[in-house]
């Protein structure tokens, strides 16, 4: 089975995760894919294949050298985003992309246009896997899984490439921020690892947002509007007032690069009660702490204005910038850069404007930067995957294994 066949086979599995679930994995359908992958890893000949009670799958490609090489790993997630349907995916291959619009559904006029997505033009002449415009594709992160599995197959078929013990792991629930929570770092047994979960070819990421969530509750007082003067506290209106007090220019749609933001993700309410949900993001740890304080200060200001505790905020940290854990081990990045260069991939080091399992794993003692998997336009029906990008990601994995085998020489 080649890498394209492997990936297309994976898209048959609907593996959406669910934020409102209390189980791990968060959805039963992730189990079906995990069990399938377990069988596949056993069939290709990996050792110590184990699917634990939480849906985490581990395996090892044994070393083929007597050299004392560091034990490293590669990780990808099995779930797809809850933002868009992952059921009944109908992928097709656009051969030798011509540089124009890719029509996904002519009748519904759903298309991927380089006018909207100019990065598409960098893949002119390539074969590209797309959807039918009504589901996501699942390249995030089934492309990463396919690349890791295919790299292990390639290494077994080419014993002349020396490598140490190579560990692989596939986890559930990354898309809901829970992918690393029950990951057994000790069982994994690696000095460092790489998640294959980036996007465009060449992406190498070891910086991500510090992240927190804020749940804000507003308690009002309902009084007949004809007699409400000096008595009514309209929770819905106070909630709108709070939103207006937040920095207008510090939202996702107004920021880029290293700029942080406050993102209003939900708002509901009436006169008696209103609720708001924010996520808080910043690469700089000091500014991140200031942002959390800023949310609380806005709530305190409103409480002072209305003379009672009408607004309460619950702020919780979610994950932190992995840079502080990776920087002391920059050889991990140097190896990845060298591997990409050997694979003919232009290296693009950039911060992640989001999170990754690698961030949480880095703080659990497993330095874990993120490498491209090749897919684009994640979490929506315009997702696509250039086939050459998959091959380059697979080759990068192979080159990392080969370079690491000689690390201690």
For the chain, the domains span: 3-207+321-405, 210-318
Residue-wise pLDDT tens digits, 350-382: 998 887 889 999 999 999 999 999 999 998 999
The Cα 368–Cα 322 span in angstroms is: 8
Phi, psi angles (nearest 5°) of residue 352: -85, 125
Q: Is CATH 3.30.70.360 correct for 210-318?
A: yes
Q: Give the three-class secondary structure for 368.
A: coil
Average pLDDT over residues 250-265: 95
What's the CATH number of domain 3-207+321-405, 3.40.50.720, 3.90.1150.10, 3.40.630.10, 3.40.640.10?
3.40.630.10
- Residue 408 predicted with pLDDT over 80: no
Among the listed residues 133, 198, 217, the one whose alpha carbon sits nearest the alpha carbon of residue 352 = 198
Q: Give the three-class secondary structure for 264.
A: strand
Cβ proximity of 120 and 155 under 8 Å: no
The pTM (predicted TM-score) of the whole model is: 0.88
Position 250 scores a pLDDT of 97
Please tell me the least confidently modeled range out of 52-56, 128-132, 177-181.
177-181
Q: State the greatest distance between any 2 C-alpha atoms of the chain, in Å, as a whole number.
A: 86
Residue with tokens 């390539």: 126
Position 409 scores a pLDDT of 65
Residue with tokens 């291959």: 93
Catalytic residues: 79, 174
- Residue 259 predicted with pLDDT over 90: yes
Average pLDDT over residues 155-174: 96
Residue-wise pLDDT tens digits, 277-323: 999 999 999 999 999 999 999 999 999 999 888 999 999 998 899 99
């Amino acid at each position: 089975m080649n890498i394209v066949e492997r990936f297309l086979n994976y898209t048959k599995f609907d593996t959406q995760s669910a934020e409102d679930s209390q189980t791990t994995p968060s959805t039963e359908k992730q189990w079906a894919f995990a069990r399938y992958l377990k069988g596949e890893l056993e069939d290709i000949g990996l050792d110590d294949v184990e699917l634990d009670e939480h849906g985490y799958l581990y395996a090892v490609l044994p070393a083929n050298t007597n050299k004392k090489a560091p034990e490293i790993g590669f990780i990808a997630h099995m779930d797809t985003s809850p933002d868009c349907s992952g059921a009944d995916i109908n992928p097709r291959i656009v051969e030798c992309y011509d540089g124009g619009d890719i029509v996904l559904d002519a009748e519904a006029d759903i298309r991927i246009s380089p006018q909207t997505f100019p990065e598409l033009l960098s893949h002119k002449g390539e074969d590209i896997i797309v959807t039918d415009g009504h589901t996501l594709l699942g390249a995030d992160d089934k492309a990463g899984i396919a690349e890791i599995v295919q790299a292990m197959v390639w290494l077994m078929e080419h014993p002349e490439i020396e490598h140490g013990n190579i560990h692989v792991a596939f986890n559930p629930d990354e898309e809901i921020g829970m992918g690393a929570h029950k990951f057994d770092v000790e069982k994994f047994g690696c000095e460092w690892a790489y998640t294959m979960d980036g996007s465009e070819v060449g992406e190498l990421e070891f910086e991500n947002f510090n992240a927190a969530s804020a749940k804000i509750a507003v308690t009002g007082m309902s009084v007949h509007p004809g007699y409400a003067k000096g008595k009514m506290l309209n929770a819905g209106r106070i909630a709108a007032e709070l939103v207006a007090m937040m920095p207008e220019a510090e939202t996702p749609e107004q920021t880029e690069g290293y700029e942080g933001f406050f993102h209003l993700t939900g708002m509901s309410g009436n006169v008696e009660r209103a609720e708001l949900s924010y996520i808080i993001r910043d690469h700089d740890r000091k500014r991140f702490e200031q942002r959390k304080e800023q949310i609380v200060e806005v709530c305190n200001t409103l409480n002072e204005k209305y003379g009672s505790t009408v607004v309460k905020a619950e702020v919780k940290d979610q994950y932190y910038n992995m840079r502080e854990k990776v920087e002391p081990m920059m050889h991990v990045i140097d190896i990845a850069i060298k591997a990409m260069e050997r694979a003919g991939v232009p290296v693009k080091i950039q911060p992640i404007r989001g999170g990754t399992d690698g961030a949480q794993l880095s703080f659990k003692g497993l330095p874990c930067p993120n490498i491209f998997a090749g897919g684009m336009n994640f979490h929506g029906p315009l997702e696509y995957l250039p086939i050459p990008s998959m091959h380059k990601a697979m080759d990068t994995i192979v080159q990392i294994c080969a370079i690491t085998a000689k690390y201690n020489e």
